[in-house]
Chains A and B, each alone.
Chain A
Amino acid sequence: MNSFFLSIALICCGGFATLFIWRNFVLMKATAVSVISIGCTIGLFDALVKLLHPGPYAASFEYLKLFSLSFQVDGLSAFFLVAIYAVSLLAAVYSFHYLNKPEKALRAAVNYLFFSLLIVSMALVVTAANMIAFMLSWEIMSLSSFFLVIYDYESAENRKAGYLYFIFSHVGAMFILVSFGILYGYSGSFLFSSGSTIPDSAKLLVLILSFIGFGSKAGVFPFHVWLPHAHPAAPSHISAVMSGVMIKTGIYGIVRLYASLSLHTPLFGEIVLIAGMISGILGVVYALGQHDLKRLLAYHSVENIGIILIGIGIGMIGVSSGNPIMAVLGFSGGLLHVLNHSIFKSLLFMGAGVVIQKTGTRTIDMLGGLLKNMKVTGITFLVGSLAISGLPPFNGFVSEFFIYLGGFRGVALDKTAFVLSIMAIVSLAIIGGLALACFTKVVGVVFQGEPRSSSAVAVDEKGPAMLAPMLILAAVCIIIGVFPRMFITLALKAVPVSGLGYGRIPMEPFIQMTANITLAATVFFIVLLMLIALRLVLYRGKTIGKAGTWGCGFTQPTVKMQYTGTSYAASILEFFRPAAPLQEDHPAIRGRFPQKTHYHSHVDDIAELHMVRVVVNPVLWLFDRLRWIQHGDIHLYIGYILLAIVVLIFFV
């Protein structure tokens, strides 16, 4: 465990050092980035070694003789550590050129401090072996990310986003705390591993309560409301880390509790699967309706968390119905999607960050034609889009392939498992199609065509520290997509910890599946290369002309005539209108000399709409009624304290 704590100590040093040298902007950035990067690299290699050579790596610290903080790295922890360190490393490098305002040097220093705390707390969350250590790290993670979200606190919108995030993460933490309380009440121990001894009904309650808590961190529908507000507010490298890995700690929590409770009832698997399907489909539908680039990506996190939950749900149903192959396929597909999503989502957020920094706008319909001047950003963003749409030969396909295969195993089961498997397969297909529609919209409107406003005209892409991480991530997307063998092995190393009780999982059938993917991808590349050669032959010595786009006979086209993202998504949104009500504001054109008109549209998130009506308003009403308790008389407050102590002494 020494190298693990060394990496944590280094990352912390990098964060705190900035507070002393913030006056020299470049030195501060260079110190922070290099020290955090070294720490992450050490942690990454350490996690990889521990993943490939599983064994109980544990450490424990006594705190004030009251309780101990114990940490343990097993396959599951190591797998998440790999994702956390890899994405944080690249995000740190990216930040070097992204934070480019010397006048905000102190703020950047504070940003690095909380960034390092976020990385450290995420690493501690996934290695915590008892509840105290877990909750402590979980709170540090929530608070540090809250301060990162309100980086641009001058804007009221960002402060509101931070507030929303604060409330959600703490209500979620309360749910987790309650479930831990129940667990402790029955088992009398803070260790997760003692959870398997408690009665089954209590286990189910613990799982469901913690699912709500972890789900609100992961962004499971309908607890995702904070996500599309917080991600656009945060700086892009922070969005990359938050969306890429931080929300995955919620997934980790779900799997960890499931594993340590070893409750193999079908009910929880069904809940997870249904939640996954709803998040998956609605996440991408809302994403289609967004006008803000980063909000759109945030909703895609909801979608991908849905895909991960579908995989894990299929795995859980496989376990409860005694179908080991289905279980392993579901879990390994879901876990691999955790890694894959952290790669392509951080890539997409970094790409969005470059676009926003260079053009100064997040509105999709104001952009256009960026690919011509931003080659690296455009191409890597395209790769990320193909990967997130789950298309071969990119990495998103590999994990979805495994989840599909697990789902098809479930079709052979009977009753509920059969129906749910069918629904899972069909919803995965629909999610895939909608994601393709959404990312053709983003690529087509932001990077292709002609600039729709002046802000997108004269752009460049300078800043190698921003481009290099994106190139690395794009390369990894293709490598996993073509040679998934190594990565599915990593995921399979993490699966046995999920409390399946199968002992050793035979690798051969799964390696064979990855070999098939490699074969198919290679065949496709060979065919493509042959066609490129054929194309070269066909175009040899030909005259290549240049002209304007064919306007179907119209000779005065303007850039305003282009299809916008709004119009592109309109007909699909119409189909999903019951789930995604569209608000339009468009005064009709009247008379011979019509007045100037406008068009605004906004897709309502039904979770957000109903949250206000069902939760917020009743809670406000209740607290309004209770206001008399808070009267401002200090002696009565002391009376409350006395009363509480007396009650505790006599009744507990």
Chain B
Amino acid sequence: MIKSILFWVLAILLAPFFSAVILKVKAFFGGKKGPPLLINYYTLVKLFKKGSVYSTSTTFIFKLGPLVSLGAAVTVLLFLPFGGHPPVFSFSGDLLFILYLLGLGRFFTIAAAMDTASPFEGMGAAREAYFPIICEATMFMILILFYILTGELRLAAYFSGGQPFGLWQAAGSPMLFVVIAFFVILLAENSRVPVDDPATHLELTMIHEVMVLDHSGPDLGFIELGSFCKLFFYSSIVARLIMPFESGYLALNICLFVTSLLVVSMAVGVMESVVARYRMDRVPKYLLTSFALAFFATVITLEFLR
């Protein structure tokens, strides 16, 4: 239990690092030196030191938004097996709670954006309300597959110890579809290219960044930390799927886990460097691809099992 809590704290502390890896990879492709790997820590410290300016249009919901979205992301990490180590909490159906808790975070991010009366933020909010619906359908499709394979509805039952390897053994190659589908969800849910561009400066084209235009100081820091934690959550799921082994030694396990996380972050960085952002009305089709992949993975696996 104590160890699990320590790993939870470690996960929160490590989360900003992997986001910086993406930046570094992008800088490499752009032929630049790029920001230091600890840039996100510097940014967080800088933001936490500052004060805030609030819009006169806003209410208390604007201040509650960052708290709830960070709170949801951090609570979700409590259920995540860090590198295969059992998580702090785990119960049957915890995945439903996790997905809906992330939904709660999204509700408050959107509500905080609508609070500012800004047309740009409304635009971002409308997109943030739209795209995750398809992602959620995909997530539940994958969940159904995992439930068929393991008979359980707990995150820890899929990703702790050597269990991911069991998933591969049971499902075989259709698991590749699941990895791709998860990767697509990762990109969409964490506002990466090709769905959203975290680096753009044109407000009209953004989703997540435009919604936080009016936040400043520690509030903005909370939002940033929340999105790092969310990215960590999704990438560690993909990392466990591509590196499903268990070595028996804790230190080696952690090393393997961190390495695979680095691989996932680099993959995101490469993706961002070589792919252009889709036009907004194309995004649903892109996301539906992930749903189709998850659906076919389930159907094919069932034929294997029968």
Contacts and interface: CB of A to CB of B under 8 A. Distances in A.
Interface of A: 368-369, 371-372, 378, 382, 386, 389-392, 397, 401, 404-405, 408, 411-412, 422, 425-426, 428-430, 432-434, 436-437, 439-441, 443-445, 448-450, 513, 516-517, 519-520, 523-524, 527-528, 531-532, 535, 538-539, 542-552, 557, 559, 561-563, 567-572, 574-575
Given A371-B59, A430-B137, A528-B67, A538 B218 contact: yes
Given A436-B103, A549-B57, A405 B120 contact: no
B137 A429 contact: yes
Contacts of A561: 119
A443 B114 contact: yes
A405 B92 CA distance: 9
B222 to A, nearest CB: 7
B74 interface: yes
B136 A440 contact: no
Contacts of B101: 391-392, 520, 524
Contacts of B104: 386, 391-392
A369 B99 CA distance: 30
Interface in B169-225: 203, 213-214, 217-219, 221-222
A285 to B, nearest CB: 11
Contacts of B144: 408, 411, 422, 425
A448 B51 contact: no
B139 interface: yes
A528 B107 contact: no
A525 to B, nearest CB: 9
Contacts of A440: 107, 110-111, 114, 125, 129
B116 A405 contact: no
Given A429-B136, A545-B52, A411 B71 contact: no
A403 to B, nearest CB: 10
A426 B140 contact: yes
11 contacts: A368-B117, A391-B104, A412-B148, A429-B99, A440-B125, A440-B129, A520-B94, A524-B75, A552-B120, A571-B130, A572-B133
B97 A563 contact: no
A523 B89 contact: yes
Contact of A516 (B78, B91, B99): B91
B115 A436 contact: no
Given A524-B72, A539-B52, A552-B203, 9 more contacts: A422-B141, A429-B137, A436-B106, A439-B107, A444-B125, A449-B116, A523-B75, A547-B56, A563-B114
B80 interface: no
B96 interface: yes
The dominant DSSP class at the B interface is helix
B118 interface: yes
Contacts of A542: 50-52, 217
A543 B51 contact: yes
Interface in B37-87: 48, 50-59, 61, 67-68, 70-72, 74-75, 78
A448 B117 CA distance: 7
B107 A562 contact: no
B45 to A, nearest CB: 11
B123 interface: yes
A528 B68 contact: yes
B72 A449 contact: no
B147 A408 contact: yes
Nearest to B102: A391
B145 to A, nearest CB: 9
Contacts of B166: none
A380 to B, nearest CB: 14
B91 A519 contact: yes
B31 interface: no
B153 A408 contact: yes
Nearest to B90: A516
Contacts of A411: 144, 147-148
Contact of B53 (A441, A524, A547): A547
Given A544-B54, A546-B56, A571 B92 contact: no
A444 B122 CA distance: 9
Contact of A571 (B100, B114, B127): B127
A572 B130 contact: yes
A438 to B, nearest CB: 9
Nearest to B306: A414
B59 A448 contact: yes
